[in-house]
Structure 1
Amino acid sequence: MKEEQAYKNIKNMIVQGRFTMQESISINELAAQMNMSRTPVHKALAQLEREGYITITPQVGVFVRRPDQKEIFDRLQLCVAIDVFLAEQAARSVSEFQLEELKEVLERMENPSLAADKYEALNVQFHTVICKAANNDFAFRSNKINWDYLNYVNISEELFQGGNREQSQAEHRMIYYALKDRDTKLTELLVRKHLMRVAQFITEKYKQVNV
């Protein structure tokens, strides 16, 4: 669908920093660039506004936005709650194939020479496997929208370096063994503790960057 393609294209432009916050995004230019009518572009922009990437002000323009600290905190709380729920469900239904996939991801994450961005990608893969193992596509898709946005606004390199990375590795390893043992309570506890640490780090970092 053209609307979906327009959404993906414009979102990528925003994430890649193609627009400044002061720059009005031209709907006509976007439509021409993607060789489509204004209608799918309008629909794509409406979705991006719902997800928090832009602000649409009638008679003024379309602008990239930055959320305030409370919005970041609220999104993080929601993400943690859904991920904890999915992890608890995953402990009941995770397959041997998925456990093997988690083990392989962990081994790659423990490479000391791994760059921060590569580690971050593996971190996302690890949690994605867990969420998919829960067999709840609606919750997974809903939370992915929030995590994608938080990754966009967050400066996260420090979260995956030095002592922070070592702690992350230890926490992921414990989560893996809890899942392997099908221990729902321990999995829930470990994932909650892990994600709350991440949420606190992101909240404080975002506060420092946006003072």
Structure 2
Amino acid sequence: MKEEQAYKHIKNLIIQGKFTMKEAISINQLADQMDMSRTPVHRALAQLEREGYITITPQVGVFVRRPEHKEILERLQLCVAIDVFLAEQAARSITEFQLEELIGVLEKMETPELAAELYEELNVKFHTIICRAANNDFAFRANKINWDYLNYVNISDELFKGGNREQSQAEHRMIYYALKDRDSKLTELLMKKHLMRVAQFIIEKYERINA
């Protein structure tokens, strides 16, 4: 579908920093690049505006936007709440195959000298396995949109280095064993504690960057 193709292409350009906040995004240029009409480009931009990546001002233009502190906080609160809910559900329905996937990811995450960007990729995979194990596709898809956006606005290298990484590894191990024991309450508690720490880190980092 051309609209989805346009959405993914433009979103990747934004994430890669191809547009500055002062630079108007050319709809005609995007349409030419993707060899399609302006209609799917307009629809893709409308979706990206709903997700918070851009601002569309009639007679002025389309611009990449930086979110308000309040928006980041609200998105984080929602993400944590949904992920905690999904983790609690996953403890009831996770399969042996998914548990094997989790331990495999954990072992890779504990590889010495693993680059921060690779650790971050594995971290996303770890949480994705858990969320999918809850068998609630609607909640998973809704939260992925928010986490994608938070990852876009946040520079998170420091979260996966030194003592922060060691704490992350320990927390992931505890979450894994709670899931393995099918202990939904403990899984819920551990995931909430883990994600609240991550949320606080993101908020503080965002405040420093935009001070």
Q: TM bucket by the smaller chain?
A: over 0.9
Letter aligned with residue 137 of structure 1 = D
Shift of 1:113: 1.2
Query: SS of the residue aligned with 1:62?
Result: strand
- Residue identity matched to 1:46: A
- Measure the CA separation in 1 of the matches of 2:29 and 2:154: 28
For 1:92, the aligned partner's letter is: R
User: Aligned residue for 1:192?
Assistant: 192
How many residues matched? Answer: 211
**Counterpart of 1:55 in structure 2: which amino acid?**
T
TM-score by length of 1: 1.00
Post-superposition shift, 1:71? 0.6
* CA apart distance, 1:173: 0.1
Is 1:114 matched up with 2:114?
yes
Give the distance between the partners of 1:194 and 1:89, measured in 2 at CA.
17
> C-alpha offsets along residues 20-79 of structure 1, whole Å, 9 cap, x if unaligned?
000000101100110000000000000000000000000000000010111100000000
- Determine the C-alpha separation between the residues in 1 that align with 2:58 and 2:168: 45
Residues 1:2 and 2:11 aligned together: no
> Cα RMSD over matched residues?
0.3
2:97 is the counterpart of 1:97 = yes
Q: 2:122 is aligned with what amino acid?
A: L
Kindly state the Cα deviation for residue 112 of structure 1 after the two structures are TM-superposed: 1.5
| Structure 1 counterpart of 2:45 | 45
Q: Read off the aligned partner of 1:131 and give its amino acid letter.
A: C
- In 2: Cα distance, 1:70 partner to 1:110 partner: 35
- 1:170 and 1:13 map into 2 onto residues whose CA distance is 35
SS of aligned partner of 1:86:
helix
Match of 1:128 in 2: 128
- Report the identity percentage: 82
Provide the rounded CA distance (Å) in 2 between the counterparts of 1:61 and 1:112: 48
Matches of 2:114 and 2:68, distance apart in 1? 32
State the alpha-carbon separation in 2 of the partners of residues 55 and 66 from structure 1.
9
Q: Which runs of 5+ in 1 are unaligned?
A: none
User: What is the TM-score with the length of structure 2 in the denominator?
Assistant: 1.00
Cα distance in 1 for partners of 2:89, 2:44 equals 33
Q: How does 1:62-211 map to 2 (within 5 A)?
A: 62-211=62-211
Matches of 2:164 and 2:4, distance apart in 1: 37
* Runs of 4+ that moved beyond 2 A: none
Whole-Å Cα distance in 1 between the matches of residues 99 and 86 of structure 2?
Answer: 15
**Per-residue deviation at 1:208?**
0.3
Structure 2 counterpart SS, 1:159:
helix
Please state whether the residue corresponding to 1:20 is helix, strand or coil. coil
